[in-house]
Amino acid sequence: MEISFVNNEFSTNIDEVIAFAKKNDLKYVELSKIGEKDIVDLSFNEASELSVKLSSSGILVSAIASPFLKWSTKKQDFSIMGENVTSEEEYFTKLMDLADIFGAPNIRIYSYFKEDISLDDLGNKLDIYSQMALDRGIALLLENDGMCNIDNVNKMHQLLEIYNFSNIFPLINMGNIVATSDDYKPQELQDLVNTCQYFHITDYDSELKRNVVIGEGDIDYESILADKFSDICTILSLEPHTGYPEDLQMSLNMLLSYEE
């Protein structure tokens, strides 16, 4: 396995991010927010300069943490990389351009803000983006999010089983599963874990009702990921969501202890 981390979980200052990665011998980072800008709001020149800085430091970008489809199906206005675009499809094309600038093989996506959309309609929309990404050699990571239509294990399992996308993979966020009291079937979760290439590593304490350092919450990653620690294709991306940069170091230490 490889370990990555969502950059703004430690800092939005890229120099501090690079220093953290080097200190811990990490070669991957997932880009979410740089300075005051979300990654998708960087201009072409800003993204290009950042890409050069990362690559010259020996840091690879594991994924673009985009907000793609974390909005209503009725959304009309789109802006990316400092440009207004006229459609969701044009936005996605620009998003793939951004991934190409960083050499990122993965893009995080969602499943629209909860509203009246059928599984078929969602699947058909995702199929369009799956094909567009396939042509560019990019994988899409579909996260379970409590605010979106695919918010639990059952729905994720159902969608991916029906459509069997070749390049859309589940981005399982176990913290979200615990936080939403998802009453999932263990086999469905295991089926998703088996197909995962990329995980968001979060932990959640259901009594305290908040995110905590990895290993201090309800999630038994040592058991869940038992077969993934030796898989060189798997990326575990740390995202503690506690708001304290030092917790990223503590979470990393705990994750490394599981591997041992």
Report the alpha-carbon distance of residue 51 to residue 225 in Å, rounded.
31
Q: Which pLDDT does position 145 carry in this prediction?
A: 95
Q: Which pLDDT does position 233 carry in this prediction?
A: 87
The β-bridge partners of 188 are none
pLDDT digits (tens, 9 = 90+) for 148-203: 999 999 999 999 999 999 999 999 999 999 999 999 999 999 999 999 999 999 99
Evaluate if residue 232 carries a pLDDT over 90.
no
Residue 68: count of CB within 10 angstroms of its CB: 19
Mean pLDDT, all residues of the chain: 96
Least confident among 97-111, 121-135, 218-232 = 218-232
Report the alpha-carbon distance of residue 28 to residue 7 in Å, rounded.
10
pLDDT digits (tens, 9 = 90+) for 76-101: 999 999 999 999 999 999 999 999 99
The fraction of the chain above a pLDDT of 70, given in percent, is 100
Task: Identify whether the C-beta of residue 94 lies closer than 8 Å to the C-beta of residue 68.
Answer: no
Evaluate if residue 144 carries a pLDDT over 80.
yes
Evaluate if residue 260 carries a pLDDT over 90.
no
Q: What is the pTM of this model?
A: 0.96
Q: How far is CA 249 from CA 1, 24, 114, 122, 212, in A?
A: 18, 9, 34, 38, 13
Non-local CB neighbours of 96 within 8 Å, separated by 6+ positions: 107, 132, 133, 136, 138
Evaluate if residue 256 carries a pLDDT over 80.
yes
Task: Identify whether the C-beta of residue 103 lies closer than 8 Å to the C-beta of residue 136.
Answer: no
Evaluate if residue 124 carries a pLDDT over 90.
yes
Report the alpha-carbon distance of residue 196 to residue 190 in Å, rounded.
10
The conformational region for residue 58 under phi > 0 = left, psi -120 to 50 = alpha, else beta, is: left
Chain centre to alpha carbon of residue 36: 20
Q: Which pLDDT does position 80 carry in this prediction?
A: 98
**DSSP assignment of the chain, as one string?**
-EEEEBGGGT-S-HHHHHHHHHHTT--EEEE-EETTEEGGGS-HHHHHHHHHHHHHTT-EEEEEEEEET-S-TT---EEETTEEESSHHHHHHHHHHHHHHHT-SEEEE---BSSS--HHHHHHHHHHHHHHHHHHT-EEEEE--TTBS--SHHHHHHHHHHH--SSEEEE-BHHHHHHTT----HHHHHHHHHH-SEEEE-EEETTTTEEE-TTSSS--HHHHTTTTTT-TT-EEEE---SS-HHHHHHHHHHHHHHH-
Q: 259 pLDDT band (50/70/90 cuts)?
A: confident
What is the CA angle 101-102-105, rounded to 5? 110
Mean pLDDT of 208-213: 97
Q: Which pLDDT does position 203 carry in this prediction?
A: 97
pLDDT digits (tens, 9 = 90+) for 4-47: 999 999 999 999 999 999 999 999 999 999 999 999 999 999 99
Domains of the chain: 2-173+180-202 (3.20.20.150)
Q: Which pLDDT does position 116 carry in this prediction?
A: 85
Q: Which pLDDT does position 239 carry in this prediction?
A: 96
3-state secondary structure 31-100: ECEECCEEHHHCCHHHHHHHHHHHHHCCCEEEEEEEEECCCCCCCCCEEECCEEECCHHHHHHHHHHHHH
